[in-house]
């Protein structure tokens, strides 16, 4: 589900890895692909698949911004439109769920998939997600989605291809209690904070990040901290915290009067941003006097779950962070003085899709 940047990249990875997977004795049979309006499925989901030519055509059509209904080289495959497409997904799940370990893969950025995913759980399907919204919905939705832990994978919801979720799960399963997590989980904000540390104005850095493709079309989607808050909520719930997004203190890097409902993107970039320079510059200088640096992080400790700017030691893993990498520090009984540090590229369609593919392969081991 989802044919945006991550979904298309996933299909391309599946095609390009055929010989590798064959050597491992694995063949991933793609029986359906959907976008928000349509679904294309194999003519016989029990036996057949969407072949690689069709998957490549899907990528081409969606790259052009066209709907799946514009596909031409379908052969015997079928296309269904909403709302019938949703019913068809559930039908396929009921046929293949428990018998084959069908994986429902959510590469959307929508909350519209939650209902289908929950039905998939009831029908015995495996769930693989890059989409954060289902796991940051209500606790009722969350409990349903994770009710069969061995049949769900969602590594790419937090650190793209980085082994964040699996590492935390291994520590928890070993009986080693995790008491603190600190992480820079936004490539955009990691880049911004390391650049302002060098004395560059925030307004200049944000514009550079936008030109480099690090930010969303409206940089306030990144600067609001909401994406980091969703990742923090997923981690906090993984640790057993019974909280929702409203429980998290979120520091936005812009004031409410510069929000999307009050100011256009152009006005924000051309007039609003520069008004934020002095405050950040003063905070950078203050941190430097204390021998620290500023980083935009999530902090999970005890009942605390916060997202915002923190002063951190220069010589820590987070303090040494440069550019758009993600860094996570995990403190537990075994990792008390020296935390477990997970670092690397934590964003990008290629990295995220690779993480999704690894999750799909990992979950198939349950059915071999």
* CA separation for the pair 320, 16 (Å, rounded): 36
Q: What is the dihedral of CA 188, 192, 194, 197, to 10 degrees?
A: -170
Is 240 annotated as contributing to ligand binding?
no
Is 25 annotated as contributing to ligand binding?
no
* Bridging pattern class, strands 126-129 and 152-153: parallel
- Residue 283 near residue 309 (C-beta atoms within 8 A): yes
Look up 231 and say whether it is catalytic: yes
- Residue 159 near residue 296 (C-beta atoms within 8 A): no
Is 207 annotated as contributing to ligand binding?
no
* CA separation for the pair 287, 289 (Å, rounded): 5
- The stretches of the chain forming alpha helices (DSSP H) are 5-16, 18-23, 52-63, 84-96, 114-122, 139-145, 156-159, 164-173, 187-197, 202-211, 220-223, 226-238, 265-267, 277-289, 349-364
Q: Phi and psi for 292 in degrees, rounded to 5?
A: -120, 175
Is 5 annotated as contributing to ligand binding?
yes
Is 132 annotated as contributing to ligand binding?
yes
Is 2 annotated as contributing to ligand binding?
yes
Q: Which residues pair with 295 in a beta bridge?
A: 310
Is 32 annotated as contributing to ligand binding?
no
> Which of 231, 262, 275, 286 is flagged as catalytic?
231
Is 346 annotated as contributing to ligand binding?
no
Is 87 annotated as contributing to ligand binding?
no
Q: Which residues are annotated as a binding site?
A: 2-7, 108, 132, 216
Catalytic residue annotation:
231
Question: Where is the binding site for L-homoserine, in residues?
Answer: 216
């Amino acid at each position: 589900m989802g044919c945006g940047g991550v979904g298309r990249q996933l299909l391309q990875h599946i095609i390009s890895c055929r010989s590798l997977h064959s050597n491992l004795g694995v063949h991933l049979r793609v029986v359906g692909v959907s976008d928000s309006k349509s679904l294309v499925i194999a003519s016989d989901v029990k036996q057949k698949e969407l072949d690689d030519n069709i998957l490549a055509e899907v990528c081409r059509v969606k790259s052009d911004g066209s709907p799946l209904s514009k596909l031409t080289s379908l052969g015997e495959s079928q296309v269904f439109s909403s709302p019938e497409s949703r019913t068809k997904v559930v039908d396929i799940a009921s046929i293949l769920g428990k018998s084959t370990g069908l994986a429902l893969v959510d590469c959307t950025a929508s909350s519209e998939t939650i209902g289908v995913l929950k039905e998939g759980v009831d029908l015995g399907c495996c769930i693989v997600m890059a989409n954060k919204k289902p796991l940051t919905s209500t606790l009722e939705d969350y409990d349903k989605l994770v009710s069969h832990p061995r049949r769900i994978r969602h590594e790419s919801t937090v650190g793209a291809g980085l082994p964040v979720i699996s590492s935390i799960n291994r520590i928890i399963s070993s009986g080693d209690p995790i008491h603190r997590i600190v992480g820079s989980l936004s490539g955009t904000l990691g880049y911004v904070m390391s650049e302002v540390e060098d004395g560059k104005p925030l307004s200049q850095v944000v514009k550079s990040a936008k030109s480099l493709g690090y930010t969303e079309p409206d940089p306030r989607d990144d600067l609001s901290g909401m994406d980091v808050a969703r990742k923090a909520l997923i981690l906090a719930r993984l640790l057993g915290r019974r909280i929702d997004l409203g429980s998290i203190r979120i520091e936005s890097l812009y004031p409410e009067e510069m929000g999307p409902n009050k100011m256009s993107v152009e006005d924000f970039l051309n007039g609003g941003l520069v008004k934020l320079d002095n405050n950040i510059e003063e905070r950078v200088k203050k941190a430097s006097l204390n021998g620290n640096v500023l980083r935009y992080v999530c902090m999970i400790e005890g009942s605390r779950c916060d997202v915002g700017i923190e002063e951190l030691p220069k010589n820590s893993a987070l303090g040494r962070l440069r550019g758009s990498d993600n860094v996570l520090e995990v403190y537990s009984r075994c990792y008390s003085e020296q935390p477990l540090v997970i670092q690397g590229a934590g964003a990008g369609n290629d990295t995220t899709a690779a993480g999704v593919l690894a999750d799909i392969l990992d979950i198939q081991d349950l059915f071999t």
